[in-house]
Amino acid sequence: MKSYVIDSYAMMAYFENEPGADIVAGILEEIVNMKSKGFMSIINWGEIYYNIFRVQGEELAETVLSHLTRYPIELVDADQSLTYEAAKLKGKYKIAYADCFAAALAGRLNAKVVTGDPEFRKLAKEIDIEWVV
């Protein structure tokens, strides 16, 4: 069974109906229909919240998080091992720290990261990526 780590970029594209939203919708449908598994780092979950909060306010951020809970996406805490792997990626590549958590989680689970964030191009030799744009 395929496994996906959903990056905040992908979920933001989906919730804001931006380019790539249809690809994310298809992956979410696979997850809902139990044809694949979905995961998200708690760090990326928080990134979704604060990005919406800053731009569109707390009420919409809360609404989006409640919509996110409707999907069977397993939230994975940032334990010491995952944080260590993310920190190693951050030390090796010039990318956002939150992105390192998605990448580290994908590596741990042998999963594809679902994203459209161009920063992930730097990680293409380290992880599998499902591009949404």
* Residue pLDDT, tens place only, 45-61: 999 999 999 999 999 99
Q: What integer best gives the mean pLDDT of the chain?
A: 96
pLDDT at position 37 is: 98
How many domains in the chain? 1
Fill in the amino acid letter for 15. Answer: F
| Percent of the chain topping pLDDT 70 | 100
- The encoded tokens of residue 110 equal 């042998």
User: pLDDT category, 84, cuts 50, 70, 90?
Assistant: very high
Q: Which domain holds residue 17?
A: 2-131
- Torsions phi, psi of 126, nearest 5? -95, -35
Q: Find the CATH number of the domain harbouring 26.
A: 3.40.50.1010
- The whole-angstrom distance between residue 76's C-alpha and the CA centroid of its chain comes to 11
